[in-house]
């Protein structure tokens, strides 16, 4: 997460953001979990309020939740009852440790020039055959939303090329309409790939 207005937004609004009414992305979560052996090790990058980690834990998986915001990490700890590691994506330094990486609506804050390295770190953190799930707000150029948060706004083609060049296998990118925290209509990209 850029240490600018994006980080400040999440730290200053952590309690409201973490406790907002939010629908669990259950269909995407269940599809992700179905591809991982029961009890498998999952790293969540950008856990926010912790709802997705709580669900994965309830399904019997070994989940390591992380977030770049110390304040959001504290909110997530209250919900899931376990420590949340405060870590930027660029600090990920694991090797073949996880069966899956769940990065739902989090990597969208990584500056475009840093995204290849972040995906390389994620790939290294996965075991052979491990999978990543990541979702992004679609667009054609990076920019900021009305709340001052940075987004990389990739197109499906741009994201496909990034993953292909990064050595990922079984790449799938889906698009759908939805919204975000700001309530505005949003075109979403959901990417999955295998190490």
Q: Cβ distance 18 to 125 under 8 Å?
A: no
**Is residue 2 pLDDT above 50, yes or no?**
no
* pTM of the entire predicted model: 0.95
Higher model confidence: residue 91 or residue 179?
91
Position 182 scores a pLDDT of: 86
Look at residue 62 and give its three-state secondary structure: strand
Distance between CA 46 and CA 165 in Å, rounded? 24
Distance between CA 39 and CA 63 in Å, rounded? 9
Compute φ and ψ for 162, nearest 5 degrees.
-60, -45
- For Cα atoms 114, 117, 118, give the angle at the middle one, nearest 5 degrees: 85
163 to 53, 157, 168, 175: CA distances (angstroms)? 25, 10, 6, 16
Distance between CA 14 and CA 179 in Å, rounded? 19
Distance between CA 67 and CA 52 in Å, rounded? 12
Position 153 scores a pLDDT of: 98
Distance between CA 171 and CA 162 in Å, rounded? 11
Higher model confidence: residue 1 or residue 94?
94
pLDDT digits (tens, 9 = 90+) for 85-143: 999 999 999 999 999 999 999 999 999 999 999 999 999 999 999 999 999 999 999 99
The DSSP bridge pattern shows strands 62-67 and 41-45 to be parallel
**Is residue 9 pLDDT above 90, yes or no?**
yes
Position 180 scores a pLDDT of: 87
User: What domains are there in the chain, each with its CATH number?
Assistant: 5-194 (3.40.50.150)
Position 117 scores a pLDDT of: 98
pLDDT digits (tens, 9 = 90+) for 13-63: 999 999 898 889 999 999 999 999 999 999 999 999 999 999 999 999 999
CA proximity to 102, closest of 73, 62, 142, 71: 62
**Is residue 3 pLDDT above 60, yes or no?**
no
Position 103 scores a pLDDT of: 98
């Amino acid at each position: 997460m850029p240490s600018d207005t994006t980080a400040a937004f999440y730290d200053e609004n952590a309690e409201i953001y973490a406790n907002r009414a939010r629908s669990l992305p259950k269909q995407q979560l269940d599809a992700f979990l179905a591809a991982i052996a029961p009890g498998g090790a999952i790293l969540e990058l950008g856990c926010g309020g912790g709802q997705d980690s709580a669900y994965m834990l309830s399904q019997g998986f070994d989940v390591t939740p992380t977030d770049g915001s110390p304040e959001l990490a504290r909110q997530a700890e209250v919900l899931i009852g376990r420590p949340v590691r405060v870590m930027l994506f660029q600090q990920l330094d694991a090797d073949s440790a996880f069966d899956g990486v769940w990065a739902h609506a989090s990597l969208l804050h990584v500056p475009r020039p840093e995204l290849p390295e972040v995906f390389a770190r994620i790939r290294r953190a996965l075991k052979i055959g491990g999978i990543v799930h990541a979702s992004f707000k679609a667009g054609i150029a990076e920019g900021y939303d009305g709340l001052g948060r940075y987004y990389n706004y990739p197109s499906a083609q741009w994201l496909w090329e990034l993953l292909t060049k990064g050595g990922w296998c079984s790449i799938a990118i889906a698009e759908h309409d939805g919204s975000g925290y700001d309530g505005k209509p949003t075109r979403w990209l959901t990417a999955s790939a295998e190490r």
